[in-house]
Structure 1
Amino acid sequence: MADTKKTNALQKPLTPSPELAAVVGSAQLSRGEVVSKIWDYIKKNNLQNPENKREIVADDKLKPVFSGKDKVSMFEMNKHLAQHLK
């Protein structure tokens, strides 16, 4: 039987990179919390492409997180976020 105390990968607290911390804050967060905060930021700043809601348009804060790209798909976004969590 699996150890019930073990947290899954989505719940493990991780430290955001300085680039990601500019968007989500520098406190340790789980992957799920980071994704949630990123979505809050995207919605608050209206960064979804109106023609294609799955596309995220990077502003000055998100561009460094997205490896300098102007836009990423919501699926690609998670790959970029993973590179900014230790």
Structure 2
Amino acid sequence: MSSPQKPAAKKPAKRKVNPALMKPVQPDAALSAIVGSKPLPRGALTKNLWDYIKKNGLQDAKKRTQINADAALKVIFNGKKSVSMFEMTKLVSGHVKA
């Protein structure tokens, strides 16, 4: 008697990276002061922005979704003292050229 074979387990589908997120974008002068002036993919731009926020302690201690602006970020945040991390993404989009 042969034992019944188990069907091969399906491998989880690899997540496809959105090619639009990999395309380099050019930060404007205000954003370049924070993330650098070279064109970089949106993912890298966001990472650099978060590195800056963490390095300078700009994430609100009590409400972690709020980002407190310093002088450089205030320009990007349209003069606002504090924005949510979701609003930050929208505001940063206005400072890049595809």
TM-score relative to the length of structure 2: 0.79
Which structure is larger by alpha-carbon Rg, 1 or 2?
Answer: 2
Correspondence 1:18 to 2:40 = no
4+ long deviations beyond 3 Å: none
TM-score relative to the length of structure 1: 0.89
Aligned length: 80
Structure 1 or 2: larger helix share? 2
1:10 Cα offset (Å): 1.1
Task: Flag structure 2 segments of 5+ consecutive residues without an equivalent.
Answer: 1-17
Q: Kindly report which structure 2 residues correspond to 1:25-44, keeping only aligned pairs within 5 A, or say none.
A: 25-44=36-55
1:59 Cα offset (Å): 0.2
The percentage of aligned residue pairs carrying the same residue is 49
Task: Flag structure 1 segments of 5+ consecutive residues without an equivalent.
Answer: 1-6
The corresponding residue for 2:91 is 80
Q: Deviations over 1:26-83 (max 9, x none)?
A: 0001111111000000000000110101000000011101111111100000001100
Structure 1 or 2: larger strand share? 2
CA–CA distance in structure 1, aligned partners of residues 45 and 74 of structure 2:
16
